[in-house]
Amino acid sequence: MRKFFQEIKADLKFKTAGPGQKLSEPSRAPREKPKAEAAPKPRQAPTDEAQMAAAAALARLELKPKGKAPSCSQESIKNQVRRELMAEAAASEKGLPEEEKEEGAAAPSVSGVYFICPLTGAVVRKDQKEKHLREAIQAYFSVDPVAASIMEIHTFNKDREKVRVGVETMAKYLDNIYLHPEEEKYRKIKLHNKVFQERISCLEGAQKFFQAVGFEEKTLPVPGQGKEGQNSPEEQFYVLKEEVLARLEDLKDCKEQLLSSEPLRARLDRQLRVFQPSPEAARFELPDDFYNLSADEIRREQRLRTEAVEKASMLRTRAMREKEEQREMRKYNYTLLRVRFPDGYILQGTFYAREAVSVLYSFVREALRDDWLPFELLGPGGLKLTDESLAFNECGLVPSALLSLSWDAAVMADIEAAGEEQPRSPLRPELLARVQTL
């Protein structure tokens, strides 16, 4: 076996000789020289990567234990060496710098998912959305501290049930003061009170709200709880400032605002684009932002797909099938949709995967020069999207799709019969002014 490895090694050395070096035959046992020996054909020198892969494979062979050789055929050993070399070559290729890798990779159809901040109007990337919202709300404290604190409560506390309970309790404190301004007990809130601790202190922004409406934190004695001859123990309270009693209507307005507010949400930027007619309309290259998968979920995808063949052969219940369909639909948060007009122009926009088809109809209608023109949208395969209440992920339009627009034939015939001059495109002029090449 050792002799066989030496022969392989010698043969590799023969292959890897440089172009200016003399190729030496591997050392073998003396044999009878044939009468006529054909000259060996010249071999092309391997690449540096192949030489490095071969050297690494041979080094591993040298390091293997020299015990008894396993009972295996020479062909299996050759296959093992070949696998070693292929693995090294693959590893070498992965380690190449970016500029040496294969060129010509398609650029993403969009650079990512973007949102519009409702406070600042700034357009920010998905991964910067929460950070920007927090900074915008923090800056809004200088404008309206009550409104800003309410935004914090409703926006950054994700448990909606806890928010509801906490907000209702806070509103009850204010309501008691408004209805009974002469009662001093209602103007003080014990911070270590069990109800306050469980319902309010756990909410981000609650402390800022009480300060904004006119409370201040004080340390006060608690009458009736101290031992005889000793001072009463002290505790922390929120105490309403005296001047707030002169403007109780403002306190009532703060209560109503607290109860009626909703979380502050950044609006999805459609990233409207118009493209010239192109044969590349059906080709999509999406960034990672479009996928609602964690790193672990992505690794599980391959395993799930390998199990699909086995599942297909099993008799599954309707509930099992619906559960799998729901899991498939949840893979994507967003979808990139293109609508091709009869003249070839393409309208593109980004949408939530769970938005209704009616949103797409409105998106297209807003882009038309004459928004009254009736039309219908056809999905892949020419399927008419007549049920506008369905979500995109229910129609198979995620994570991307190319749709076609079809005008109402009767209306278009009437327009032609009237002899009215038609513009070169039904899209608004300001959109055509910034048309791009796909």
Asked whether the predicted pLDDT for residue 35 surpasses 90, the reply is no
Q: Are residues 246 and 382 in the same domain?
A: no
Tell whether 344 is covered by a domain.
yes
Tell whether 275 is covered by a domain.
no
Tell whether 430 is covered by a domain.
yes
Looking at residue 347, its pLDDT comes to 97
Q: What is the mean pLDDT of residues 56-67?
A: 49
Radius of gyration of the chain (CA): 37
Q: Are residues 334 and 219 in the same domain?
A: no
Cβ–Cβ under 8 Å, residues 120 and 135: no
Q: Are residues 144 and 237 in the same domain?
A: yes
Q: Are residues 158 and 254 in the same domain?
A: yes
Mean pLDDT, the chain, rounded, equals 78
Tens-place pLDDT, residues 390-426: 999 899 899 999 999 999 988 888 888 887 777 678 9
CA dist., res. 46 & res. 57, Å (int): 15
Q: Are residues 254 and 397 in the same domain?
A: no
Q: What is the DSSP string of 291-345?
A: B---HHHHHHHHHHHHHHHHHHTS---HHHHHHHHHHHHTTBSEEEEEEE-TTS-
Number of structural domains found in the chain: 2
CA dist., res. 342 & res. 378, Å (int): 12
pTM for the model:
0.65
Residue 381, phi then psi, degrees to nearest 5: 85, 5
Q: What is the DSSP string of 247-295?
A: GHHHHHHHHHHHHH-----PEEP---EEE---TTTT-----GGGB---H
Tell whether 389 is covered by a domain.
yes
Tens-place pLDDT, residues 107-145: 678 889 999 999 999 999 999 999 999 999 999 999 999
Domain containing 260 — which CATH number? 1.20.58.2190
Q: Are residues 248 and 164 in the same domain?
A: yes
Domain containing 428 — which CATH number? 3.10.20.90
Q: Are residues 254 and 347 in the same domain?
A: no
Q: Are residues 250 and 360 in the same domain?
A: no
Q: Are residues 251 and 355 in the same domain?
A: no
Range in 129-138, 280-289, 337-346 the model is least confident about = 280-289
Range of the domain at 147: 114-224+232-268
Q: Are residues 264 and 169 in the same domain?
A: yes
Q: Are residues 250 and 339 in the same domain?
A: no
Cβ–Cβ under 8 Å, residues 137 and 155: yes
Percent of the chain with pLDDT over 90: 53
Tell whether 41 is covered by a domain.
no
Looking at residue 307, its pLDDT comes to 60
Q: What is the mean pLDDT of residues 155-178?
A: 95
Tell whether 283 is covered by a domain.
no
Q: Are residues 338 and 427 in the same domain?
A: yes
CA dist., res. 156 & res. 135, Å (int): 12
What residues contact residue 140 under an 8 Å CB cut-off, 6+ apart? Answer: 119, 147, 148, 151
